[in-house]
Chain A
């Protein structure tokens, strides 16, 4: 497994950073908030005007890359845009382009913590609703699934050849961060 402890490389999994140096990296669905700047960017929409980065455009369910093309894949806040039925297939597809021993970093919203933030009076219901359902401000920017920290390990456990190293809270408690390795 490549060395990728974000405590050393970058301050938090969600913070923008160069990304791991000296490896072939891919960020999927970074949109206008691309976070791993030295990684190849893949998205459904071309955000090059907003970001100044170059994007490969396509469907994240079918990546236009050969098997084992990357040592590192980073995907933040995209998995929840696919339906529950598609989750495993999508994760298997993202795993396919990783080399054995390569690293997949995932971030998804934590639905339970988002609700608890609302119930604590910290977050309004409209904002909470947006975090659960997506902002829906442009086509495709809506969610079709929800996850929580406690059950996320069971979700990724169904993907063949994917080994979970870490699963913890991020994004001030409202996100789930998972560090996985392709076996």
Chain B
């Protein structure tokens, strides 16, 4: 791995838990599982509760549909850890399922109960289960519990079934 390629990735940003469908191929990829064979990308492997990067390494950190795999009691601690590796003034962008939006889609007849269930609980595969649920209206209160983040916006995505929150990294007190 040549050093300048690593530096280029770090300068672009970090994607946590992108799995075999990473959003940005130019980002540093961090995951619990190596998806190199499917994607041809290099993955740094580890536990997303403890990232192997120094404080303020990245201008931008992105994580989609990962936070709900941790227990609600861990949510704030994990967001604090992800914020740690964002440079002050940089951005942390999070996407999680919106449990209420998903239920409304079911009640409106747009998705089946099985689909609703797997979106809320994750697939039955043990590694892929969810352990927390969020809704659009209360998610900002969770971000507000992280002293090193200031919420820029929190809006609906994925046709009302997802939450897209963007927060700016601020200096810790």
| Residues in chain A within 8 A of chain B (CB atoms) | 83-84, 111-112, 115-116, 119-120, 125, 129, 132-133, 143-151, 154
Residue in A112, A119, A133 whose beta carbon sits within 8 Å of that of B100 in the complex: A112
B139 CB to closest chain A CB, in angstroms? Answer: 9
B36 CB to closest chain A CB, in angstroms? Answer: 31
Q: Does B138 contact A (CB under 8 A)?
A: yes
Q: Beyond A116-B72, A148-B138, A150-B138, is A132–B103 a contact (Cβ under 8 Å)?
A: yes
In the bound assembly, the distance between CA atoms of A147 and B138 in angstroms comes to 12
In chain B, residues 32-60, which have Cβ atoms closer than 8 Å to a Cβ of chain A?
none
CB contacts (< 8 Å) of B141 on chain A: these are 150
Inter-chain contact A146/B107, CB cutoff 8 Å: yes
Q: How many residues of B contact A (CB 8 A)?
A: 22
CB contacts (< 8 Å) of B71 on chain A: these are 119-120
Inter-chain contact A112/B133, CB cutoff 8 Å: yes
Residue in A115, A120, A149 whose beta carbon sits within 8 Å of that of B99 in the complex: A115
CB contacts (< 8 Å) of A119 on chain B: these are 71-72, 130-133
Q: Does B144 contact A (CB under 8 A)?
A: no
Q: Does B113 contact A (CB under 8 A)?
A: yes
Residue in B99, B113, B138 whose beta carbon sits within 8 Å of that of A133 in the complex: B113
